[in-house]
Chains A and B, each alone.
Chain A
Amino acid sequence: ELKVEQNPLFLSMQEGKNYTIYCNYSTTSDRLYWYRQDPGKSLESLFVLLSNGAVKQEGRLMASLDTKARLSTLHITAAVHDLSATYFCAVDGTSGSRLTFGEGTQLTVNP
């Protein structure tokens, strides 16, 4: 059974600081996704990582994938209040179809 674990689950940080969210998964996977969810809203796709060593950046967020370590990171640079949300990683199983989600990381960026 594929398991996905995120760390930390809760993160409170000040504006302007940097931090990394970690996503570990237990078995081989084809794809890893990062999503953002605002309160009362659905999921917004941030990144899709397809191969070992993949790195993608959008604004203050950068995601990377190490398939050998079964680890993905979401790095936040110079955080701003607008980044406050819950961030989920999700992994495609070897069936290539269903996603298994991490528990989510609730990020709060304080002024």
Chain B
Amino acid sequence: GAVVSQHPSRVICKSGTSVKIECRSLDFQATTMFWYRQFPKQSLMLMATSNEGSKATYEQGVEKDKFLINHASLTLSTLTVTSAHPEDSSFYICSARDGTSGGQFFGPGTRLTVL
């Protein structure tokens, strides 16, 4: 089946630093990738939709200058949390849509803790 990887799986950083999270589709081309965040005991909240070669579309209330998204190729999207603060601590999950099957597959997630 389709596999999506994320790196790193867990990161702890100091307040004010930036963190980059990578999302890769390993065996299919993903024209669209999605970034979600999930707080404990809650559902997934879509942050932004990323299309290869174009600017990401951010959901209402998500700061595009704080959460930088780059989708440089059909298999890689990155999310950079700039000037991270403790309230940014969360579980960040990416997903990728398989252009052939239309299925949407999720990465294993990245747990970010900002001290």
Give every chain B residue within 8 A of A42 (Cβ-Cβ): 6, 93, 106-109
Q: Number of A residues contacting the other chain (C-beta, 8 Å)?
A: 18
Total inter-chain residue pairs, C-beta < 8 Å: 41
Interface size class of B (residues with CB under 8 A): 20 to 34
Contact: B43 with A45, CB < 8 Å? no
- Residues in A59-111 with C-beta less than 8 Å from chain B: 88, 97-99, 101-104
* Stretch of B12-20, B67-75, B79-87, B97-105 with 4 or more beta carbons under 8 angstroms from chain A: B97-105
Contact: B97 with A97, CB < 8 Å? yes
Give every chain B residue within 8 A of A31 (Cβ-Cβ): 102
Given contacts A97-B32, A99-B34, contact A45 B44 (CB under 8 A): no
Interface hub of B32, B104, B107, B111 (most chain A Cβ within 10 A)? B104
Known contacts A43-B106, A97-B97; 6 further A-B pairs (Cβ under 8 A): A33-B104, A41-B108, A42-B6, A88-B43, A99-B104, A104-B43
Which residues of A pack against B, CB within 8 Å? 31, 33, 35, 40-45, 48, 88, 97-99, 101-104
In the complex, 20 of the A-B residue pairs with CB atoms within 8 angstroms, ordered by the A residue number, are A31-B102, A35-B106, A41-B108, A42-B6, A43-B93, A43-B95, A43-B106, A44-B106, A45-B104, A45-B105, A48-B102, A48-B103, A88-B44, A97-B97, A98-B46, A99-B34, A99-B95, A101-B44, A102-B43, A103-B43
Which residues of B pack against A, CB within 8 Å? 1, 6, 32, 34, 43-44, 46, 49, 93, 95, 97, 102-109, 111
